[in-house]
Amino acid sequence: MTGQDAASPAERRRFPTALLLTCAALGVAGGLVLAPANWISTALSGGLPFASMALAGFWLLPSVIALRLLRRPLVGMLVALVAGLVLVPFSGYGFSAILTNLWWAAFTELPFLFVAWRYWGTWMHYLGAVVAGVVYPISAWAWFDLGALSIWAQGGFFAITIVSCVAATALGIVIADRLQAAGVGRRR
């Protein structure tokens, strides 16, 4: 191998081992938090869909923590992938748990994608949460038969979902900030 064929130090360090291990740890922890939330949410979705939506934000939590802590492109998706893999044997949905986690993580990554991951303002985390809180009830409209509800109940459904997503995002930011203060993640 000649010197021209060898990867530069910058190319070798795009996904350093410490970053990958941190994402793996966050993903496993996220999966362990999501496992009971998944069962509780499923049990509530039939008879108490509003209570089920109060848990919706939990699916944003692992990705928000990763993005806030590491401030690197696609770490939210990587953490969601690991969390989904952890959930596979514990959820009643099998491998679709991976797709579900990636779907939720996309909302946490989206605001940062629009600025090419060059700006990491706190408000951008909340923007992703609000978008997720609006899009999820629309995508689950038929599942929850929202069309059969009054306009006030539909509004309440959206409001609960948005509040859940924003609250979980706030919790994720606090957790990430505390992890960083403890020496975990990227130093600025």
DSSP output for 65-93: HHHHHH--TTHHHHHHHHHHHHHTTTSTT
Report yes or no on whether pTM surpasses 0.85: yes
Is 11 a member of any domain? no
Both tokens assigned to 7 = 């990867």
Question: What would the mean pLDDT of 57-84 be, rounded to a whole number?
Answer: 96
Tell me how far apart the alpha carbons of residues 39 and 151 are, in angstroms, rounded to a whole number.
28
Is 5 a member of any domain? no
Please name the amino acid found at residue 97: A
pLDDT in tens, 92-144: 888 999 999 999 999 999 999 999 999 999 999 999 999 999 999 998 888 77
Is 188 a member of any domain? no
Which range marks the domain in which residue 71 is found?
A: 16-181
| CATH assignment at residue 60 | 1.10.1760
State the total domains in the chain. 1
Mean pLDDT of the chain: 88
Is 76 a member of any domain? yes
> What is the reported pLDDT for 8?
47
Is 8 a member of any domain? no
Q: Which of 45-54, 62-71, 89-98 has the highest mean pLDDT?
A: 62-71
Is 6 a member of any domain? no
- Whether 73 contacts 112, CB under 8 Å: yes
Please name the amino acid found at residue 120: W
